[in-house]
Amino acid sequence: MGWPQAPVPVRTPATSANLGPGFDSLGLALALHDDVEVAVTGDATEIEVDGEGAEVAGRGERHLIVTTLRAGFERIAELGGSGPGQPKGVRLRCRNRIPHSRGLGSSSAAIIAGLVAARALHPDGSVLDDDEVLRLATEIEGHPDNVAPCLAGGLTVAWTAPDGPRLVRLESRIDQVVAFVPEQRLATERARGLLPETVPHADAAANAGRSALLVAALTAGLDGVLLDATEDRLHQDYRAPAMPDSAALVARLRDAGVPAVISGAGPTVLAFTTASQVDSMELEVGNGWHEHPLQVAVRGAHVVAGEPPVRP
């Protein structure tokens, strides 16, 4: 059986990881989406990008979605798929809305998009089930906290068991947040490089309690405890020197009673509130921030039925 002729359109949500105390475990899918369209061809790889990441469209086979797509085809073969092998070329069209290198899961969205497209395109793609997608995506990304909500949608708790990464999807009763996105970027590797090898036991214990409280608050809609529940001692203060403006904005918001955290590795700030509430407080956010009121995305990455979302 050969490759399908029709392109596959895939939609992936932005994500926010950590959510304060849930370092490398908690994640939330957000209704800010990238749309990609993937087809296999008999010619060289072609890439068109509209929006974020347009500057890397010329990477060809080194583009993250393309390398992930091919990794997906390879894993399908390893799992027993007997399809046509690797295609000669790939045609990729992207409409990217998720800001890059801002802590909103753009790389996880690209990875999940590539794997979901591989599963849809390959004749034996069904062997790449969601557990295998999570496993391979975690291998590529390095940790499951962003790829889990991108794949499953909603609120997720992710962890790594002896046999690989796992996730639990939960329904968040908090359905709106506000993301404050700065102009400047911050590489995740740089942010991770600022973390210490060890932390005080008291800080670890405090974060364990806050993480449990945060899951309870988000799933039960307990707005009144969110400020306490989003307190973090494990990563945000250590990373503050790399994003002083973000750290200062988190402090201002929290001083005003708004539950605010660094989104993922930053520098975006995520506030568990609404834009109208922020405006009503007449809080001085400062210049250089793009304010994005966002809904929680209840659906994770998926093939878009009907009209393809990406036009040539």
State CA 118 to chain mean position distance.
Answer: 19
State CA 202 to chain mean position distance.
Answer: 29
Local structure of residue 304 (DSSP, 8 states): P
Residue 310 inside a domain? The answer is no
Are 13 and 129 within one domain? yes
Residue 2 inside a domain? The answer is no
Q: In the structure, what pLDDT confidence band is assigned to residue 80 with cuts at 50, 70 and 90?
A: confident
Find residue 302's DSSP bridge partners: 11
- Provide mean pLDDT across the span 214-230: 96
Residue 261 inside a domain? The answer is yes
- Provide mean pLDDT across the span 189-207: 90
Are 121 and 42 within one domain? yes
Q: Is the pLDDT of residue 1 over 70?
A: no
Q: Provide the pLDDT for residue 311.
A: 47
99 is in an annotated binding site: yes
First to last CA, the chain: 28
87-109: pLDDT as tens digits: 989 999 999 999 999 999 999 99
Q: Provide the pLDDT for residue 262.
A: 97
Lowest mean pLDDT among 116-125, 195-204, 280-289: 280-289
109 is in an annotated binding site: yes
% of residues, the chain, pLDDT over 70? 97
Q: Is the pLDDT of residue 171 over 80?
A: yes
Note the maximum CA span of the chain.
62
The amino acid at residue 182 is P
CB 23 within 8 A of CB 207: yes
What is the C-alpha separation between 173 and 216, in angstroms, rounded? 10
Are 144 and 184 within one domain? no
Strands 260-262 vs 46-51: parallel, antiparallel or unpaired? unpaired
To 10 degrees, the CA torsion angle through 96, 100, 103, 105?
40
The reply to whether the predicted model has a pTM over 0.95 is: no
Q: What's the token pair of residue 238?
A: 């250590």
Are 200 and 84 within one domain? no
CB 172 within 8 A of CB 28: yes
Are 119 and 211 within one domain? no
307 CB neighbour count, 10 Å cutoff: 7
- Provide mean pLDDT across the span 212-231: 96
- What's the mean pLDDT when you consider all of the chain? 92
Q: Is the pLDDT of residue 308 over 60?
A: no
Measured over the CA atoms of residue 181, residue 57, residue 27 and residue 296, the dihedral's sign is: positive
Q: What's the token pair of residue 208?
A: 């364990």
Q: What's the token pair of residue 198?
A: 């060890």
Are 204 and 161 within one domain? no
58-76: pLDDT as tens digits: 888 999 999 999 999 999 9
State CA 36 to chain mean position distance.
Answer: 15
123 is in an annotated binding site: no
What is the C-alpha separation between 270 and 279, in angstroms, rounded? 15
With b meaning 16 or more CB within 10 Å and e meaning fewer, what string describes 119-144? Answer: bbbbebbebbeeebbbbbbbebbebb
Q: Is the pLDDT of residue 141 over 80?
A: yes
Does residue 162 or residue 306 have the better pLDDT?
A: 162
Residue 107 inside a domain? The answer is yes
Listed ranges 42-51, 133-142, 302-311; the one with the highest mean pLDDT: 133-142
If one counts the domains in the chain, the total is 2
Q: Is the pLDDT of residue 113 over 80?
A: yes
* Rg of the Cα atoms in the chain: 20
Identify whether 196 is preceded by a cis peptide bond (ω within 30 of 0).
no
25 is in an annotated binding site: no
Q: In the structure, what pLDDT confidence band is assigned to residue 131 with cuts at 50, 70 and 90?
A: very high
Residue 308 inside a domain? The answer is no
105 is in an annotated binding site: yes
Q: Provide the pLDDT for residue 81.
A: 78
108 is in an annotated binding site: yes
Q: Is the pLDDT of residue 38 over 70?
A: yes
Are 241 and 166 within one domain? no
Q: Provide the pLDDT for residue 306.
A: 64
Residue 309 inside a domain? The answer is no
Q: What's the token pair of residue 17?
A: 């990881």
Are 163 and 15 within one domain? yes
102 is in an annotated binding site: yes
Are 108 and 225 within one domain? no
Q: Assign residue 82 the CATH number of its domain.
A: 3.30.230.10
Are 33 and 64 within one domain? yes
Q: Assign residue 185 the CATH number of its domain.
A: 3.30.70.890
What is the C-alpha separation between 136 and 93, in angstroms, rounded? 23
- Provide mean pLDDT across the span 151-155: 98
148 is in an annotated binding site: no
Residue 312 inside a domain? The answer is no
Q: Provide the pLDDT for residue 312.
A: 38
Q: How many residues does the chain have?
A: 312
Which residue range(s) make up the domain with 147? Answer: 8-170+297-303
Q: What's the token pair of residue 39?
A: 């087809």
Residue 70 inside a domain? The answer is yes
Are 182 and 44 within one domain? no
- Provide mean pLDDT across the span 179-207: 89
CB 292 within 8 A of CB 178: yes
Are 21 and 153 within one domain? yes
Q: In the structure, what pLDDT confidence band is assigned to residue 302 with cuts at 50, 70 and 90?
A: very high
